[in-house]
Amino acid sequence: MGTILITGPTSGIGRAAAHQLASLGHHVVAAGRNPAKLKRLVYELNATGGSAEPLLVDLASLASVSAAAAQFVASGRNVDVLVNNAGVGMASGTTVDGFAVQFGVNHLAHFLLTAELGPALRPGSRVIQVASQMHHRASGIDFHRVTRPARTLKGVEQYSVSKLANLLFVAELARRRPDLVVHAVHPGLVKTSILPWFVRPFIRGITPEEGAEVVTWCATAAEPGETTGGYWARRRPIELSETARDPVLAQELWRRSEEWCAPFRTH
Protein backbone atom coordinates (compact mmCIF):
# COMPACT_ATOMS: atom_id res chain seq x y z
CA MET A 1 0.00 0.00 0.00
CA GLY A 2 1.35 3.42 -0.88
CA THR A 3 1.15 7.11 -0.15
CA ILE A 4 -1.17 8.97 -2.49
CA LEU A 5 -1.19 12.77 -2.54
CA ILE A 6 -4.34 14.18 -4.10
CA THR A 7 -5.32 17.79 -4.75
CA GLY A 8 -8.94 18.91 -4.56
CA PRO A 9 -10.02 16.08 -2.22
CA THR A 10 -12.69 18.17 -0.50
CA SER A 11 -15.34 18.05 -3.19
CA GLY A 12 -16.65 16.20 -6.24
CA ILE A 13 -14.39 13.73 -8.04
CA GLY A 14 -11.40 14.28 -5.75
CA ARG A 15 -13.43 13.61 -2.65
CA ALA A 16 -14.86 10.39 -4.10
CA ALA A 17 -11.38 9.31 -5.25
CA ALA A 18 -9.93 10.00 -1.79
CA HIS A 19 -12.55 7.68 -0.28
CA GLN A 20 -11.94 4.97 -2.90
CA LEU A 21 -8.15 5.14 -2.50
CA ALA A 22 -8.35 5.06 1.31
CA SER A 23 -10.72 2.10 1.20
CA LEU A 24 -8.13 0.23 -0.90
CA GLY A 25 -5.70 0.68 1.99
CA HIS A 26 -3.59 3.57 0.68
CA HIS A 27 -2.46 6.44 2.88
CA VAL A 28 -4.11 9.62 1.53
CA VAL A 29 -2.41 13.00 1.78
CA ALA A 30 -5.34 15.33 1.24
CA ALA A 31 -4.07 18.60 -0.26
CA GLY A 32 -6.69 21.34 -0.05
CA ARG A 33 -7.22 25.00 0.75
CA ASN A 34 -10.08 24.89 3.24
CA PRO A 35 -8.92 23.82 6.74
CA ALA A 36 -12.43 23.01 7.99
CA LYS A 37 -13.30 20.85 4.94
CA LEU A 38 -9.90 19.13 5.13
CA LYS A 39 -10.34 18.37 8.82
CA ARG A 40 -13.77 16.84 8.19
CA LEU A 41 -12.51 14.73 5.27
CA VAL A 42 -9.47 13.41 7.14
CA TYR A 43 -11.67 12.59 10.13
CA GLU A 44 -14.11 10.68 7.87
CA LEU A 45 -11.34 8.74 6.11
CA ASN A 46 -9.65 7.77 9.37
CA ALA A 47 -12.96 6.98 11.09
CA THR A 48 -13.96 4.58 8.30
CA GLY A 49 -10.83 2.47 8.58
CA GLY A 50 -8.61 4.46 6.21
CA SER A 51 -5.46 6.43 6.82
CA ALA A 52 -5.21 10.11 5.89
CA GLU A 53 -3.57 13.40 6.75
CA PRO A 54 -4.21 16.99 5.61
CA LEU A 55 -1.83 19.19 3.61
CA LEU A 56 -2.91 22.80 3.43
CA VAL A 57 -2.35 24.41 0.03
CA ASP A 58 -3.94 27.21 -1.94
CA LEU A 59 -3.35 26.38 -5.58
CA ALA A 60 -4.11 29.98 -6.52
CA SER A 61 -0.79 30.95 -4.92
CA LEU A 62 2.51 29.57 -6.23
CA ALA A 63 4.20 30.45 -2.91
CA SER A 64 1.64 28.31 -1.10
CA VAL A 65 2.21 25.41 -3.54
CA SER A 66 5.96 25.60 -3.01
CA ALA A 67 5.58 25.72 0.79
CA ALA A 68 3.20 22.74 0.85
CA ALA A 69 5.51 20.64 -1.32
CA ALA A 70 8.50 21.58 0.84
CA GLN A 71 6.55 20.58 3.94
CA PHE A 72 5.85 17.16 2.48
CA VAL A 73 9.38 16.60 1.13
CA ALA A 74 10.82 17.55 4.56
CA SER A 75 8.94 14.57 6.04
CA GLY A 76 11.36 12.34 4.10
CA ARG A 77 8.60 10.18 2.65
CA ASN A 78 7.98 9.23 -0.97
CA VAL A 79 4.87 9.93 -3.03
CA ASP A 80 3.80 6.69 -4.71
CA VAL A 81 1.01 8.44 -6.61
CA LEU A 82 0.39 12.14 -7.15
CA VAL A 83 -3.16 12.88 -8.30
CA ASN A 84 -3.39 16.37 -9.77
CA ASN A 85 -7.15 16.73 -9.60
CA ALA A 86 -8.19 20.15 -8.26
CA GLY A 87 -9.73 22.51 -10.74
CA VAL A 88 -11.84 25.58 -11.32
CA GLY A 89 -14.30 26.06 -14.16
CA MET A 90 -16.30 29.12 -15.08
CA ALA A 91 -14.58 31.64 -12.82
CA SER A 92 -13.24 35.14 -13.32
CA GLY A 93 -10.11 36.95 -12.19
CA THR A 94 -6.55 35.97 -11.55
CA THR A 95 -4.53 33.90 -9.15
CA VAL A 96 -2.37 35.67 -6.55
CA ASP A 97 0.44 35.64 -9.12
CA GLY A 98 -1.65 37.26 -11.86
CA PHE A 99 -2.53 34.29 -14.08
CA ALA A 100 -6.02 33.67 -15.44
CA VAL A 101 -7.51 31.66 -12.61
CA GLN A 102 -8.15 28.47 -14.62
CA PHE A 103 -4.65 28.41 -16.12
CA GLY A 104 -3.05 29.27 -12.77
CA VAL A 105 -4.90 26.71 -10.65
CA ASN A 106 -5.54 23.91 -13.15
CA HIS A 107 -2.16 23.92 -14.88
CA LEU A 108 0.57 26.10 -13.35
CA ALA A 109 0.04 25.17 -9.69
CA HIS A 110 0.13 21.46 -10.61
CA PHE A 111 3.21 21.99 -12.77
CA LEU A 112 5.01 23.54 -9.78
CA LEU A 113 3.65 20.99 -7.30
CA THR A 114 4.91 18.10 -9.45
CA ALA A 115 8.32 19.74 -9.88
CA GLU A 116 8.71 20.55 -6.19
CA LEU A 117 7.64 17.05 -5.18
CA GLY A 118 10.34 15.73 -7.56
CA PRO A 119 12.61 14.38 -4.79
CA ALA A 120 9.68 12.38 -3.38
CA LEU A 121 8.72 10.88 -6.77
CA ARG A 122 10.80 7.71 -7.10
CA PRO A 123 11.16 5.47 -10.17
CA GLY A 124 7.78 3.83 -10.71
CA SER A 125 5.83 6.58 -8.91
CA ARG A 126 2.70 7.63 -10.77
CA VAL A 127 1.47 11.09 -11.68
CA ILE A 128 -2.22 11.15 -12.64
CA GLN A 129 -3.57 14.37 -14.11
CA VAL A 130 -7.32 14.89 -14.24
CA ALA A 131 -7.86 16.50 -17.65
CA SER A 132 -11.03 16.77 -19.76
CA GLN A 133 -12.46 16.23 -23.24
CA MET A 134 -13.14 19.98 -23.10
CA HIS A 135 -9.53 20.34 -24.27
CA HIS A 136 -10.83 19.60 -27.80
CA ARG A 137 -12.35 23.10 -27.78
CA ALA A 138 -8.95 24.79 -27.43
CA SER A 139 -7.04 25.33 -30.66
CA GLY A 140 -3.91 26.56 -28.89
CA ILE A 141 -2.59 28.55 -25.94
CA ASP A 142 -2.45 32.33 -26.10
CA PHE A 143 0.50 32.82 -23.73
CA HIS A 144 -0.27 36.51 -23.35
CA ARG A 145 -3.94 35.88 -22.54
CA VAL A 146 -3.19 33.41 -19.72
CA THR A 147 -1.35 36.16 -17.85
CA ARG A 148 -4.51 38.32 -17.84
CA PRO A 149 -7.66 38.07 -15.70
CA ALA A 150 -10.24 35.52 -16.83
CA ARG A 151 -13.72 36.88 -17.52
CA THR A 152 -16.67 34.78 -16.40
CA LEU A 153 -18.29 34.67 -19.82
CA LYS A 154 -14.99 33.50 -21.28
CA GLY A 155 -14.56 30.95 -18.50
CA VAL A 156 -15.31 28.00 -20.73
CA GLU A 157 -12.63 29.15 -23.16
CA GLN A 158 -10.00 29.55 -20.43
CA TYR A 159 -11.05 26.24 -18.87
CA SER A 160 -10.54 24.45 -22.20
CA VAL A 161 -7.10 26.03 -22.57
CA SER A 162 -6.16 24.91 -19.05
CA LYS A 163 -7.26 21.33 -19.82
CA LEU A 164 -5.24 21.40 -23.05
CA ALA A 165 -2.29 22.53 -20.89
CA ASN A 166 -2.91 19.50 -18.60
CA LEU A 167 -2.54 17.14 -21.54
CA LEU A 168 0.54 18.86 -22.98
CA PHE A 169 2.07 18.74 -19.48
CA VAL A 170 1.46 14.99 -19.24
CA ALA A 171 3.04 14.38 -22.65
CA GLU A 172 6.13 16.40 -21.81
CA LEU A 173 6.49 15.01 -18.27
CA ALA A 174 6.27 11.47 -19.64
CA ARG A 175 9.03 12.34 -22.13
CA ARG A 176 11.27 13.97 -19.50
CA ARG A 177 10.73 11.47 -16.69
CA PRO A 178 10.56 8.01 -18.33
CA ASP A 179 11.17 6.52 -14.87
CA LEU A 180 7.67 7.64 -13.81
CA VAL A 181 4.23 6.42 -14.85
CA VAL A 182 2.36 9.50 -16.08
CA HIS A 183 -1.25 9.49 -17.30
CA ALA A 184 -4.12 11.88 -17.94
CA VAL A 185 -7.74 10.91 -17.40
CA HIS A 186 -11.15 12.18 -18.47
CA PRO A 187 -13.69 11.36 -15.72
CA GLY A 188 -16.79 11.86 -17.89
CA LEU A 189 -19.48 14.49 -17.42
CA VAL A 190 -19.84 14.50 -13.65
CA LYS A 191 -22.42 16.38 -11.59
CA THR A 192 -20.14 18.47 -9.37
CA SER A 193 -19.83 22.08 -8.29
CA ILE A 194 -17.41 22.80 -11.15
CA LEU A 195 -20.41 22.95 -13.50
CA PRO A 196 -22.12 26.36 -13.47
CA TRP A 197 -25.11 26.27 -11.10
CA PHE A 198 -27.54 27.28 -13.83
CA VAL A 199 -26.74 24.31 -16.07
CA ARG A 200 -26.39 21.67 -13.34
CA PRO A 201 -30.13 20.80 -13.09
CA PHE A 202 -30.32 20.20 -16.86
CA ILE A 203 -27.27 17.95 -17.16
CA ARG A 204 -27.52 14.17 -16.99
CA GLY A 205 -24.08 13.63 -15.59
CA ILE A 206 -22.65 10.68 -13.73
CA THR A 207 -21.99 10.67 -9.98
CA PRO A 208 -18.64 11.77 -8.49
CA GLU A 209 -18.08 8.15 -7.43
CA GLU A 210 -18.51 6.98 -11.03
CA GLY A 211 -16.28 9.82 -12.27
CA ALA A 212 -13.56 8.98 -9.75
CA GLU A 213 -13.41 5.36 -10.86
CA VAL A 214 -10.94 6.02 -13.71
CA VAL A 215 -8.79 8.16 -11.39
CA THR A 216 -8.57 5.35 -8.83
CA TRP A 217 -7.95 2.77 -11.55
CA CYS A 218 -5.12 4.76 -13.17
CA ALA A 219 -3.61 5.44 -9.75
CA THR A 220 -3.62 1.84 -8.56
CA ALA A 221 -4.31 -0.81 -11.23
CA ALA A 222 -1.61 -2.93 -12.85
CA GLU A 223 -2.48 -2.20 -16.52
CA PRO A 224 -1.85 1.59 -16.54
CA GLY A 225 1.38 0.91 -14.65
CA GLU A 226 2.77 -0.83 -17.74
CA THR A 227 2.80 2.29 -19.96
CA THR A 228 3.22 6.05 -19.63
CA GLY A 229 1.90 9.19 -21.32
CA GLY A 230 -1.64 7.83 -21.81
CA TYR A 231 -5.04 9.51 -21.80
CA TRP A 232 -7.82 7.34 -20.38
CA ALA A 233 -11.57 7.28 -19.86
CA ARG A 234 -13.53 4.29 -18.55
CA ARG A 235 -10.33 2.23 -18.41
CA ARG A 236 -9.71 2.69 -22.15
CA PRO A 237 -7.27 4.94 -24.02
CA ILE A 238 -9.02 7.85 -25.74
CA GLU A 239 -8.09 10.31 -28.49
CA LEU A 240 -6.24 13.54 -27.84
CA SER A 241 -6.90 16.54 -30.04
CA GLU A 242 -4.27 17.29 -32.66
CA THR A 243 -3.14 20.34 -30.64
CA ALA A 244 -2.67 18.22 -27.51
CA ARG A 245 -0.34 15.99 -29.54
CA ASP A 246 1.87 18.91 -30.65
CA PRO A 247 5.36 18.31 -29.14
CA VAL A 248 6.54 21.83 -29.99
CA LEU A 249 3.65 23.39 -28.08
CA ALA A 250 4.25 21.00 -25.17
CA GLN A 251 7.88 22.09 -24.99
CA GLU A 252 6.98 25.77 -25.21
CA LEU A 253 4.42 25.39 -22.41
CA TRP A 254 7.02 23.59 -20.30
CA ARG A 255 9.65 26.30 -20.91
CA ARG A 256 7.26 29.13 -20.06
CA SER A 257 5.88 27.30 -17.01
CA GLU A 258 9.45 26.81 -15.77
CA GLU A 259 10.14 30.52 -16.20
CA TRP A 260 6.94 31.54 -14.41
CA CYS A 261 7.59 29.12 -11.54
CA ALA A 262 11.33 29.84 -11.21
CA PRO A 263 10.92 32.36 -8.33
CA PHE A 264 9.07 29.68 -6.37
CA ARG A 265 11.45 26.76 -6.95
CA THR A 266 13.45 25.55 -3.97
CA HIS A 267 15.72 23.04 -5.69
Residue ranges in contact with ligand NAP by CB under 6 A: 8, 10-14, 32-34, 37, 57-60, 85-88, 105-106, 130, 132, 186-187, 189-190, 192-195, 205
Cα–Cα distance for residue pair 184/166, rounded to 1 Å:
8
| Shortest distance in whole angstroms from residue 113 CB to ligand NAP | 10
Of the two residues 90 and 121, which places its CB atom closer to ligand NAP in the complex? Answer: 90
| Shortest distance in whole angstroms from residue 267 CB to ligand NAP | 23
Q: Hey, how many other C-beta atoms are within 10 angstroms of the C-beta on 191? A: 17
The one catalytic residue among 72, 159, 254, 260: 159
Cα–Cα distance for residue pair 156/159, rounded to 1 Å:
5
231 given a catalytic annotation:
no
Decide the pairing of beta strands 230-233 and 236-237.
Answer: antiparallel
Of the two residues 132 and 216, which places its CB atom closer to ligand NAP in the complex? Answer: 132
Structural contact between residues 50 and 9, judged by C-beta atoms closer than 8 angstroms: no
Structural contact between residues 144 and 103, judged by C-beta atoms closer than 8 angstroms: no
**Cβ-proximal residue to ligand NAP, closest one:** 12
Query: What does each C-alpha distance from 128 to 6, 94, 216, 219 come to in angstroms?
Result: 9, 25, 9, 7
| Shortest distance in whole angstroms from residue 82 CB to ligand NAP | 14
- Say whether 20 sits in a helix, a strand or coil: helix
- Say whether 231 sits in a helix, a strand or coil: strand
| Shortest distance in whole angstroms from residue 163 CB to ligand NAP | 6
Of the two residues 87 and 155, which places its CB atom closer to ligand NAP in the complex? Answer: 87
Of the two residues 122 and 234, which places its CB atom closer to ligand NAP in the complex? Answer: 234
- Say whether 235 sits in a helix, a strand or coil: coil
Annotated active-site positions, please?
Answer: 159
